[in-house]
Amino acid sequence: MTATTPVNKKQATLFQAFIPIIFLIILLSLNVYYFGDDTLGGANQIALITAAAVAGVIAIRLGITWDFIRTRIVHSISTAMPSTLILFLIGSLSGTWMISGVVPALIYYGLELLQPSIFLFATVIITALVSVGTGSSWSTIATIGVALLGIGNALGFSEAITAGAIISGAYFGDKMSPLSDTTNLAPAMAGTDLFTHIRYMTITTLPSIGIALLIFLVMGFTMEINTSAADVASVMNAIDSTFNITPWLFIVPLVLVVIIVKKVPPLPALFIGTLLGGIFAIIFQPHLIRELAQEAESFAGASYVSVMKAMFGSISIESGDAKVNELLSTNGMAGMLNTVWLIISAMIFGGVMESAGLLNRISASIINKAKSTGQLVAATAGTSIFFNITASDQYIAIVVPGKMYAETFRKRGYKPELLSRTLEDAGTVTSVLIPWNTCGATQSAVLGVSTLAYLPYAFFNLISPFMTILIAYLNIKIRRFNPDENTDKKEE
């Protein structure tokens, strides 16, 4: 007997498979009722661990050994480690980019260029372009997204609405970029090539982003913004008087974009961006360096202390304007600890559920009921969303349904790009809408806006799964193998 092999495993019933999920939903609902916006402070983490314990009891009753359950938990947590490390570095990067003046400069020049009526529309376009170029929604949101959130605040927009626009653009770009990991993963799971996959996604993705852009454009022209030109000028003056604002600061984000485009892995790329932020803080903001480390006797000592504080802890910069002060505070790596705790708890739950085969049991029951093209695509999309909710990881939401449905799609005569597109339309974009998913937890922490607050305004992410299902039901450009084609062969 080994720790990697279950012993005397029995097949779970559908009811048994749903018990931990029902239990989790009840606990999460109670958390929202009693804790409100503070659910990420620990309540949701405990709910996930408790639900994992319920799943563990069921697993043991099915004959799964504790050693095997523990192995699956450890494996599940290990799959989230790259995301966790990236999350820590994003915390550090936000700190050094703040004290260097990079983020304040982006806000300052953004206020000069972006008018309130087109701000939301422009936010989607800007984040989409950056994300296509970098292949990373995470990097886009942590850099340009944070600056745009500050601009939105200064213009009088709700943080939730601005965050929805940022996430819509960033995830559109991530989804369509050949540099994106999920955009490469989905066709690999389905059995098609990258560019066939990207071209086929345009059929559903362009209408989805088009509708989202139209909504944001209408909102921009119809919303009443309680911010005058004087208020905007006040914010700009406060930033200008606190930082040395210069276009030279844009070298830092430009270098980061270039090294990401050059396919430097995310961890070293973000670390380079963090260090550059610290160096530029010392060069361009020496007065701020001394202010943040008054206890240091020399400028060298103050530089070390200030940059180090920005990377690991809380930094609050006083500008003389209370509204601007809210924009000029970061929490560094320490600010990400609750999110890391949430991700680990979620992966524990996913690992226990996987060890007993409970997730696959639920998914398998869906396939048998999907007869038409629309039903099969809807089942695949629903399964991806289900794994985003239960396994708490977008990669699992792509890999597992991809493996599950690949043979079914081939047997029914559909080319693999139909499956790969569905996986992205549902798996990639909905991950950020789940508070305890690695993506939802991360973007909520980075932007400082709760997932449930921005969810109603992440229009692209909400529309995409419905669009892919609608296109399938309408039978629009559904690719099928010709009778003389070998359906087990990848399309050339």
pLDDT tens over the chain, length 492 residues: 445 555 556 788 889 988 998 888 888 778 877 886 677 678 888 988 999 999 999 999 999 999 999 999 998 888 778 767 877 887 888 889 889 988 888 778 877 777 888 899 999 998 888 787 667 788 788 878 888 898 888 888 999 999 999 999 999 988 988 767 788 778 877 888 877 888 899 999 999 999 999 999 999 988 877 665 566 677 788 888 889 999 999 899 889 878 877 878 878 888 998 999 999 999 999 999 998 888 888 999 999 999 999 999 888 888 777 767 766 778 888 887 877 887 788 788 888 988 888 877 876 777 777 778 899 999 999 989 988 887 777 877 887 787 777 778 888 899 999 999 999 999 989 999 998 888 898 899 889 899 999 999 999 999 999 999 999 999 999 888 887 665 444 443
> Token pair of 135, please?
């292949």
Q: Give the three-state DSSP class for 486.
A: coil
With tokens 């949101």, the residue in question is 141
DSSP 8-state secondary structure symbol assigned to residue 297: S
CA atoms of 226 and 220, how far apart (whole Å)? 13
As a whole number of angstroms, the distance between CA 98 and CA 147 comes to 10
Within 313-372, where are the H helices?
A: 322-327, 337-355, 358-367
Instruction: Give, in degrees to the nearest 5, the angle at Cα 476 between 488 and 430.
Output: 80
CA atoms within 13 A on the CB side of 187: 21
| pLDDT for 467 | 96
Domain limits, the chain: 84-335
- Spatial separation of the C-alpha atoms in residues 356 and 91, rounded to whole Å: 36
CA-wise closest residue to 185 among 177, 374, 467, 385 = 177
Burial of 466 (C-beta count, 10 Å sphere; 0-12/13-18/19+):
middle
Whether 58 contacts 48, CB under 8 Å: no
Whats the size of the chain, residue-wise? 492
Q: Which of 50, 62, 86, 47 is nearest to 9 (CA)?
A: 62
First to last CA, the chain: 44
pLDDT value for 228: 57
Contacts of 420 (CB under 8 A, 6+ apart): 186, 187, 189, 190, 192, 197, 200, 402
Quote the CA–CA distance of 103 and 100 in Å, as a whole number. Answer: 8
Q: Within 10 A of 112 (CB to CB), how many other CB atoms are there?
A: 9
Cα distance between residue 158 and residue 15, in whole Å: 42
Q: With contact defined as beta carbons under 8 Å apart, do 69 and 59 qualify?
A: yes
Distance in angstroms (rounded) separating the CA atoms of residues 145 and 137: 9
Rounded Cα distance, 102 and 255, in Å: 12
* Phi and psi torsions of 480, nearest 5°: -125, 155
Q: What is the pLDDT at residue 257?
A: 78
Place of tokens 């098609």: 192
- Alpha helix segments (H runs only) across 156-265: 159-176, 181-190, 194-222, 229-242, 251-261
Cβ(93)–Cβ(277) under 8 Å? yes
